[in-house]
Chain A
């Protein structure tokens, strides 16, 4: 499947893009992270400490073990700091 993958804040800066299309067979968000990590150093650096990374699937905040079946958009970002 082809997923739209978005990155925000320091994840965007470390990976060097805010948005890309990713061809993947990953079953879960965590599997997608593993795939990206293996792909290039910049992903391995960005995803080095997953306790500081949050994920959303189709714009809903989700845990990392969430399945990707039917998903179109996955986003990765640090803990939110609104207000």
Chain B
């Protein structure tokens, strides 16, 4: 009996898109088979910011690295599928021009039991924050500024090592 290689049979779905996505349809896509007892979804939205003059966020520009971004998301999803017994992993991330309240991204995981689905979803979010090739620029009444990476996002990876 040789090593069959990667043991995970999880279905990975990775999408990097400018378009809006359908959260309900994506969750439903993971409702496969009677043995899948849990589907966890996380939705990320563009949060308004309060600027000095109280003007708030006009919009956000999200840049990515076509090719590398998809590969990085797939590697993170595959890592989750190797760590937890998942049936499916979906990662969708948008780029381009987004307004406050717009959906930026989602992850969804499915498994027999909720623990694996919840933990894998949290793992995916922590890794996406600092390992997915996206860069955000915020445009407010004060001008525009690139969002800096924050230490706590890097620190959050510590709990998965």
Contacts and interface: CB of A to CB of B under 8 A. Distances in A.
* A complexed with B: yes
Interface of A: 6, 8-10, 12, 56, 59-61, 75, 77-83
Contacts of B132: 80, 82-83
Contacts, number: 66
Interface residues of B, number: 26
A38 B36 CA distance: 58
Interface of B: 44, 63, 65, 67-68, 71-72, 93, 104-105, 125, 128-137, 146-149, 153
Contact of B63 (A8, A60, A61, A79): A8
B147 A75 contact: no
30 contacts: A6-B65, A8-B63, A8-B65, A8-B133, A9-B63, A9-B135, A9-B146, A56-B68, A59-B65, A59-B68, A75-B65, A77-B65, A77-B135, A79-B130, A79-B149, A80-B130, A80-B132, A80-B149, A81-B130, A81-B135, A82-B105, A82-B128, A82-B129, A82-B131, A83-B44, A83-B104, A83-B125, A83-B129, A83-B132, A83-B134
